[in-house]
Amino acid sequence: MGKDGTHARSAPELRVQLGPLSLKNPVLTASGTFGYGQEFSDFLDLARLGAVVVKGISLEPRPGNPPPRVTETPAGMLNAIGLENVGVERFLAEKLPSLRRRNATVIVNILGNSEQEYAALAERLEDAEGIAALEVNISCPNVKEGGIAFGTDPKTAARVTEAVRQKTHRPLIVKLSPNVTDIGLIARAVEAAGADIISCINTVSGMAVDVFSRRPKLANVLGGLSGPAIKPVALRCVYQVVHAVSCPVIGIGGIQTALDALEFLLVGASAVQVGTANLVRPTAAVEVLDGLERFLRHQGLASVQEYIGTLDTTCRLPQAEEACAGDG
């Protein structure tokens, strides 16, 4: 008998298969919270991670937003980095080789302001070696349509997905925004347009102000909320997306510990991304991974696959008819 009262077994199988994408384990790092990986190499072995999703890359380098760019909120943070990044050329020349030297599995997060930009990025990345998948951030404003984010409309979301799909043979992940009325609708649209995998959620739109200076706490006024505060929202979105599509889903939002990650797997995510937690504890992702393995042993499970999607939602009592779900 093991310390936790269960039988010792061989190490549980952590490998997960997400459509065309096979990962050594389901713990990834979220774009924008893990730099280009090298920032963390003092703290952990990048090769241990399911994958490193790099900071969102655009065709041209971007300077990002004016400061202040980040601010703390209860159990969360707001950011308006403004997608500062080195651009695809420097990424390929400097960042990707450094990640490859460290044997990291690399997923490249891409962004643009038109379908053409997304397509051009996918094309430029197609021949580069050492990229396991593309993740398309569709929370960016579509400049042709008055700056409304691609991801808030099923039609534009589908068009971006198609544009990328046509240029890449790589596993294609589309990353959804939670700032929509019906995330299942967007999920179905991008699945139909060729997404192999859906990841969600990106940050929740939010804002903070300083009552003394009477100024916004972010120069950009609006920012994206992340961290533990949004975990319930993320879990709900993943649950809705899992029920809306048949492709695999990657859960993101507020994951700090293995138990948090397990919540996402339980509702049906096939993998997770650790985001803001990396900023607070640079070892967060490997701690999640270690805790996951410990949990599987404790529960006597031979593989993480056995656990994924096993939520039991049957209710012992009749629901009150016509109740306003989740609104008091």
Partner 1 sequence: MPKTQEKARLLETRRVAEDTHRIALYAPRITATARPGQFVMVRITSEGTDPLLNRPFSFHRIHKDDGLFEILFRVVGRGTWLLSQRKEGETLEVIGPLGNFFTLPPAHEETVALVAGGIGIAPMEEWGHRLAQWARGDEARRVYLFYGARTASEVVPTRRLERKGVTTFISTDDGTLGRCGTALDLLDQTCRDLSIRPQRLYSCGPLAMQAAVATWARQQNLPAVMSLESVMACGIGACLGCALPAVPPDDSSRIHYVHVCKEGPVFDSRKILWEKMEPMPVRPLSFVCS
Give how far Cα 207 sits from Cα of 139, 247, 251, Å. Answer: 17, 33, 24
CB of 3 to ligand FMN, least distance (A): 30
Kindly tell me which of 201 and 296 has the beta carbon lying closer to ligand FMN.
201
CB of 276 to a second copy, least distance (A): 11
Kindly tell me which of 269 and 277 has the beta carbon lying closer to partner 1.
277
Each residue 214-253 as x (binds partner 1 by CB under 8 A) or -, in order, gives: -x---x-------xxx------------------------
By CB under 8 A, tell whether 84 contacts partner 1: yes
Count of residues that interact with a second copy, criterion CB under 8 A: 89
Pick the catalytic residue from 140, 200, 237, 247: 140
- 237 among known catalytic residues: no
Q: Which of 1, 8, 11, 323 binds a second copy (CB under 8 A)?
A: 323
Quick one: what does residue 325 bind among partner 1, a second copy, ligand FMN, none, with the CB cut-off 5 to 8 Å set by partner type?
A: a second copy
Kindly tell me which of 279 and 301 has the beta carbon lying closer to partner 1.
279
31 assigned binding-site residue: yes
Each residue 42-81 as x (binds partner 1 by CB under 8 A) or -, in order, gives: xx-----------x-------xxxxxxxxxxxxxxx-x-x
Each residue 287-326 as x (binds partner 1 by CB under 8 A) or -, in order, gives: ----x--xx--x-----------------xxx-x------
213 assigned binding-site residue: no
83 assigned binding-site residue: yes
C-alpha angle 240-187-252 in degrees, rounded to nearest 5 = 65
Kindly tell me which of 101 and 243 has the beta carbon lying closer to a second copy.
243
Q: Give the C-alpha separation, 31 to 318, whole Å.
A: 42
By CB under 8 A, tell whether 305 contacts a second copy: no
Interface residues with ligand FMN (CB under 6 A) are 30-33, 55-56, 79, 81, 83, 109, 137, 175, 202-203, 226-227, 230, 252-255, 275-276, 328
CB of 142 to a second copy, least distance (A): 10
HEC string of the chain equals CCCCCCCCCCCCECCEEECCEEECCCEEECCCCCCCCHHHCCCCCHHHCCEEECCCECCCCECCCCCCCEEEECCEEEECCCCCECHHHHHHHHHHHHHHHCCCCEEEEECCCCHHHHHHHHHHHHCCCCCCEEEEECCCEEHHHCCEEHHHCHHHHHHHHHHHHHHCCCCEEEEECCCCCCHHHHHHHHHHCCCCEEEECCCEEEECEECCCCEECCCCCEEEEECHHHHHHHHHHHHHHHHHCCCCEEEECCCCCHHHHHHHHHHCCCEEEECCHHHHCCCHHHHHHHHHHHHHHHCCCCEHHHCCCCCCCCCCCCCCCCCCCCCC
Is residue 152 within 8 A of residue 141, CB to CB? The reply is: no
Task: Give the chain's end-to-end CA distance (angstroms, integer).
Answer: 46
Kindly tell me which of 12 and 136 has the beta carbon lying closer to ligand FMN.
136
Evaluate the omega torsion of the peptide bond into residue 154 and state whether it is cis, within 30 degrees of 0: no
* Binding site residue list: 31, 55-56, 79-83, 109, 137, 175, 201-203, 227, 253-254, 275-276
Interface ranges with partner 1 (CB under 8 A): 4, 32-35, 39-40, 42-43, 55, 63-77, 79, 81, 84, 210, 212-213, 215, 219, 227-229, 256, 258-259, 276, 278-283, 291, 294-295, 298, 316-318, 320
Residues with a known catalytic role? 140
